[in-house]
Amino acid sequence: MKPRQGTSSAFGILLLVALTSSCEKSPHEKTERYVFVTANVNLPYWQEAHAGLKDAAQTIGVKSEFTGPVTYSPEEELKAFQDAVTARPAGILVSPARAKLFQGAIDSAVSSGIPVICVDSDSPESRRILFIGTDNYRAGVESARRMANLLHGNGRVLLITILAQFNLNERLRGVLETFGPQPIEISEVIDDEGDPGKAEAETAAVFDRKEKIDGILCLEASGGTGAAKALQRLALSGKIPIVAMDKDQDTLDWINKGAISATIAQKPYAMSYYGLKFLDDLHHNIVHQFSDWRTAPASPLPTWVDTGTAVVDKDNVEAFQSALVAERQLR
C-alpha cells in the first residue's frame, strides 16, 4: 500500500524527537547514591522499607544502599549513620532509634550539605529536613481504642514496646490519653528491644507469676508474634486479646489463627519510596521556591508527612495476605 502524503515526513519528525530526547543528559550522575540507615535491618518491617527504597531508586535511576545493625542497637546504628556521612552520599534517610543520640550527627550532616530525612522515627529537635512516617500519636490512639473495645472499657493490659524511642513514646502518649478516662490499667511494661524471642519469654514470665492480664497491647512490630507464641505455649491462645503493630507475614498468620485480634499496619514501603524521592528533589533543587535548599531561609519541602495506617483484623486479613503475596511475586 502506498503511504499517504505526509506520512513519511511525520514519521521522520517523530523519530528525530525520540532520538533527540534519548540524547538528553540525565540529571543524575552515574555515581549518585542515597543511603537508608536503620536499626535491626533484618526485621520484616525494614525489609518492606528496603523494597520501597530499591523501587524508588530504580524508578529515578540512582543507586541506593540499605544499612544498619542486624540487632537493635542505637549505638551501632549511629556508627552506621556516621559512616554514611563520611562517604558523602547525595542524601540520607534515617530512622533514629534515639532522638537525642542522633541530633548532633544529623545536624553535622545537614551543615555539610547532605540532606537528611527522618523516616518512621523522628529527631524533631535536629536540623533534619523533614519527617515522613506514621502519625505515631494517632497510631497509639487507634491501638488503645481497639483494645478498649475488646475489653469493654475495663481491664488490666500488658504493654510491649521499646523504651526511649521517640516514635514509640508518641504511641504510648496516645495510649495513655485514650485509656485515661476509662478503668483500664497498664499493669506492666515489657521492653523487648525489637526481639520477638524476648517478647515471648517475658510475656510468658508475666503469666507464670499469675499476674491478672486481660489484654496485651504491642506498640512495635516484634511484640505481637512474641506474645502470641507465649500464649499458645500456655494454652491461652485466643483467650487473651492481643492488639499488635505492623503487618509482617507472621502477624497476619496469627490473626488468621485467632491468636491476634488486630494489628495497626504502617506503610514502611511508602515511607522509603517517597522519602528517597524527596531526597532526590532536594539534591537537585527541583522545587524552585529558593535557588538552593542549603541556603534557603526555610525548607522548600513539607516538614512532616503522615503516611497513615490501616487496621487489620479477621474481617480483612485475607485481603492483606493476598496483596502481600502479589507484591512478593512482582519482586
Q: What would the mean pLDDT of 100-107 be, rounded to a whole number?
A: 98
Question: How many Å separate Cα 314 from the centre of its chain?
Answer: 23
156: phi then psi, degrees, rounded to nearest 5: -115, 130
Cβ neighbours of residue 212 closer than 8 Å, sequence gap 6 or more: 156, 187
Average pLDDT over residues 132-141: 97
The pLDDT value given to residue 312: 97
pLDDT at 325: 59
Residue 243 host element (H or E): strand 242-245
Q: Any idea where the domains of the chain sit in the sequence?
A: 33-133+267-300, 136-265
Question: 312 - beta bridge partners?
Answer: 263
The predicted structure's pLDDT at residue 324 = 74
Rg (CA), the chain: 24
Choose the weakest-confidence range: 89-93, 187-191, 293-297. Answer: 293-297
Q: What is the pLDDT of residue 297?
A: 85
- What digits encode the pLDDT tens for the residues 209-246? 999 999 999 999 999 999 999 999 999 999 999 999 99
Mode of pairing for the β-strands spanning 310-313 and 262-265? antiparallel
pLDDT of 90 reads 97
* pLDDT in the model for residue 330: 52
Task: Report pLDDT for 331.
Answer: 57
Higher-confidence residue of 258 and 164: namely 258
At 279, the amino acid letter reads L
Go through the chain and tell me how many residues it has. Answer: 331
Structure confidence by residue, pLDDT tens digits, 270-314: 999 999 999 999 999 888 888 888 888 888 899 999 999 999 999
Extended strands (E) in 24-142: 33-37, 63-67, 91-94, 116-119, 130-133
Assign 25 a pLDDT band (cuts: 50, 70, 90). Answer: low
Which residues, at least 6 apart from 71, have a Cβ–Cβ distance to it below 8 Å? Answer: 39, 40, 194, 195
Element (H, E) at 158: strand 155-161
pLDDT at 81 over 80: yes
216 φ, ψ to 5°? -125, 125
What does pLDDT average to over the chain? 90
Give the per-residue pLDDT at 155.
96
Count of other CB atoms within 10 angstroms of residue 228: 30
Helix, strand, coil percent values for the chain (each to nearest 5): 45, 15, 35
Give yes or no for residue 8 having a pLDDT over 50: no
Q: Thinking of the domain 33-133+267-300, which architecture would CATH place it in?
A: 3-Layer(aba) Sandwich (3.40)
Residue 56 has pLDDT above 60, yes or no: yes
Extract the C-alpha cell encoding 183. 478503668
Provide the pLDDT for residue 42: 87
Q: Which CATH superfamily is 136-265 part of?
A: Response regulator (3.40.50.2300)
Res 328: pLDDT: 57
pTM (2 d.p.): 0.85
Q: Between residues 19 and 309, which one has the greater pLDDT?
A: 309
Q: What phi and psi, each to the nearest 5 degrees, are found at residue 312? A: -110, 130
Tell me what percent of the residues of the chain surpass a pLDDT of 90.
78
Percent with pLDDT over 70 in the chain: 90
* Cα-based angle 96, 112, 120 (whole degrees, multiple of 5): 20
The per-residue pLDDT for 239 is 97
Give the per-residue pLDDT at 327.
57
Q: Tell me what pLDDT residue 220 has.
A: 95
> How would you list the strands of the sheet with 304-306, edge to edge?
63-67, 33-37, 91-94, 116-119, 130-133, 304-306
